[in-house]
Amino acid sequence: MARTLIRNAQAVLPGDGIHSSSGTVDLRHVLIEDGKILDADASSTASCDHLIEADDLFLLPGVIDDQVHFREPGLTHKEDLATASHACAAGGVTTFLEMPNTKPPAITIEGVQAKEALAAEKSLVNYGFYIGATPNNVAELNAAQNVPGIKIFIGSSTGNLLVDEQAALERIFAETTLPICAHCEDETTVRANAERLAGTTDIHDHSRIRDEAAAVISTARATGLARRHQHRFHVLHVSTGAELVSLVDPSPYLTAEVCPHHLFFNVDDYDRLGSRIQMNPSIKTAEDNAKLWQALQDDVIQVIATDHAPHTLEEKAQPYPQSPSGLPAVENSLALMLNQCNAGKVTMPQIAHWMSDAPARVWGITGKGRIANGYDADLVLVRMNSERTIRDEDQHTKNRWSPWNGETLRGWPVTTIVNGSIVWSIDGGFREKIRGQKPTFDHARGGFWNTADGIGPTNA
């Protein structure tokens, strides 16, 4: 069992876990053995087979992105598990959880297992796949094991993945046990707005069709179901300040997330970026940006995830509303937050909490999300004084573009470690033979609110 010592790193260590600012940063030597952290406070002279000198570098737990669309199978002209996992590795993302709206959709156990098999063959980083809900697949949802959870599209989907009827939603919340997440936009509101604005070719109308009311109505509906049925529920991509009223009342059943595009972009950016920032839920106002940042600071929102959902630039260049919604983000999300840290707006422990520890706890991913003894050695070394400009042509995502094209950020990953092995470094590139693993999802641990001290190793 080979040992690796990361020496002289400024390690970002967990606090009590509930409050995002409670962690610490401390000079540490971290010893890794057999893919796990053997000693998070080792001696600088500990015996090892491989030495990583981390002077002037910060060591964070690897990012867990709990909402991505990697398009395989069926839509691989947009992205696939190989290209997407390369983008993850270069961005410090060591685990992703992928959504079920592929072709065919992952709405059966066999469908989920088929995607797991593809990832085992192709992915450089760790992976998990949600099972998708339909109006009539409760039996499949209950038979699924060792998956992150159930995904419901309460809006913004078509065919059998759209679950909008109240009776079907009641069945899913009442009769299943896996944690649930959902895309919350009220279909009735969206369709009425679309009819009112029929014929528009103005990209600004996307945020008028998928407006604040659509998000607020659907989030209130879904969180109400979760409270009434006492079912763990995670609100995906909160986009408005008005939705927060459904989250501020503490509940052991509710958690929520926000995405970088809803933190950094608003409707004023359509003139500059057009359909590059066309998303579902839509971009909202600068006031919403500020309220979402504050919700993170106040622990009302627990997770940052990307909703990475690439399309080709040719597809995005179509006139609205033919242009599809979605953007790539996995390789820049951590750098965006590190840049905010350099600006004094967030702290390193907050970043580790929002992007690593909290998603591990929400989805019961054992041994992930913290730098602590016994945890998996999923780690990222970052250089906080490194400046780099995001450029379309440098992206590793298949479509080679970013909505942040041209922006210069300070603070970037330089080495990504997955299960104890370096999978990417700024100097050495990718280690193409490395493959990630499917983690263990232990929902008996009770989710975010019941794991304040971390989700713990698999054998804890």
Tokens of 79: 């992205």
Asked if the peptide bond before residue 100 counts as cis, ω within 30 degrees of 0, the response is no
Out of 186, 205, 307, 442, the active site residue is 307
Count of residues in the chain? 460
Measured over the CA atoms of residue 117, residue 118, residue 121 and residue 124, the dihedral's sign is negative
If phi over 0 gives left and psi between -120 and 50 gives alpha, with beta otherwise, what is residue 10? beta
DSSP secondary structure letters along 303-339: EE---B----HHHHTSPTTTSPP----TTTHHHHHHH
Instruction: Check if the beta carbon of residue 366 is closer than 8 Å to that of residue 439.
Output: yes
39 has catalytic annotation: no
Instruction: Check if the beta carbon of residue 95 is closer than 8 Å to that of residue 62.
Output: yes
d(CA 296, CA 341): 14
**Burial state string for 435-454 with b = 16 or more CB within 10 A and e = fewer than 16:** bbbbbbbbbebebbbebeeb
∠ CA 361-363-365, nearest 5°, is: 70
**Cβ of 11: how many Cβ atoms within 10 Å?**
25
Strand 150-154's sheet: what is its strand order?
Answer: 131-132, 150-154, 180-184, 233-235, 254-258, 303-304
β-bridge mates for residue 365, sequence order? 441
Between the CA of residue 181 and those of 131, 238, 255, what are the distances in Å?
10, 12, 9
CA-nearest of 113, 79, 84, 108 to 96 is 84
Tokens of 273: 């970026």
So which residues are the catalytic ones?
A: 307
